Amino acid sequence: MESIIYSVNKAEHIGGLDMPTASGRQFWFQGIDTSLPPSTEGVSQVLLENISRPGSKHNNDRRVSYLKSRLKIGFLSFLDKDRENEKEKKSVVCVEGNIASGKTTCLEFFSNSTDIEVLTEPVPKWRNVRGHNPLGLMYQDACRWGFTLQTYVQLTMLDQHTRPQTLPVRLMERSIYSARYVFVENLYRSGKMPKVDYVVLSEWFDWIVRNIDVSIDLIVYLRTTPETCYQRLKMRCREEEKVIPLEYLDAIHHLYEEWLIKGSLFPVAAPVLVIEADHNMQKMLELFEQNRHRILTLENRKLGP
């Protein structure tokens, strides 16, 4: 019987095929006697976890074809269905930006388009958890309630990412990534979140990203100045936002810039489309229309910040 090495975390030349992979382990597949029905559940599990996993999808066809030809066992045919499903992959687009940057306007603009489902930020949930308002409490005393709110934000955003998608394009207001990379980070940097709380939230977030599919296809960054956001915020008069100072918006702005423009803060989970959003309503609607095809079409994902 023939041994096959599936090497990961580097490009390994295996049996004449370069197989770049994304994990940090190494698996040995022993050749299986094809006269017997396959019963190696362990091999099946490895294949499911390391060939069909997010991050390895770009090379699935070559890997599956190679393993089928080398192992010559029929149980690998279950991967064909998974590959077909990948070809029909739906698109997830996250609209990111500061408070009052125009995210709701953007979502409303595209909500009338066909084949699009819109998921707004679950703010009503943050305002009412069995009669409690963690969002309002956080704005009143971030040192006391920041961890409480962000724990619940992470949970509700995970729910947004993982709920079944029924239409070709899902448009989400913010994401689990900005919850961690911008808002949790701001609480910690500003001294309003103890390190132990920050580490716990970070560990929880890292586990989610490693073990649950929260992948996205595009980030639309509505780039605004903190001053513009502050003026808009005052005009819309939401109760919890009355206590938000300009300094807070400035801090959020700089974290977004570090993350999505400079790329110096954290990994960027998808290509970024930047739309300058300091304009009035009419101009913003024109910009949304100009970028419709880039936002809603899967083929237009290589955009960069």
Q: In 3D, which of 300, 297, 289, 302 has the Cα closest to residue 115? A: 297
Helix (H) or strand (E) holding 202: helix 195-211
Please tell me what DSSP assigns to residue 132.
B
Taking the C-alpha atoms of residue 98 and residue 125, their distance in angstroms, rounded to an integer, is 20
Beta strands at 169-173 and 26-30: parallel, antiparallel or unpaired? unpaired
Helix (H) or strand (E) holding 97: strand 91-97
Taking the C-alpha atoms of residue 286 and residue 305, their distance in angstroms, rounded to an integer, is 20
Taking the C-alpha atoms of residue 118 and residue 224, their distance in angstroms, rounded to an integer, is 22
Beta strands at 116-119 and 169-173: parallel, antiparallel or unpaired? parallel
The widest CA-to-CA distance across the chain, in whole angstroms, is 74
* Torsion angles phi and psi, residue 128, rounded to 5: -145, 95
| DSSP string for residues in 143-172 | HHHHHHHHHHHHHHHHHHHHSPP-SSEEEE
299 is catalytic: no
49, 173, 289, 299: the active-site residue: 173
Residue positions annotated with a catalytic role? 173
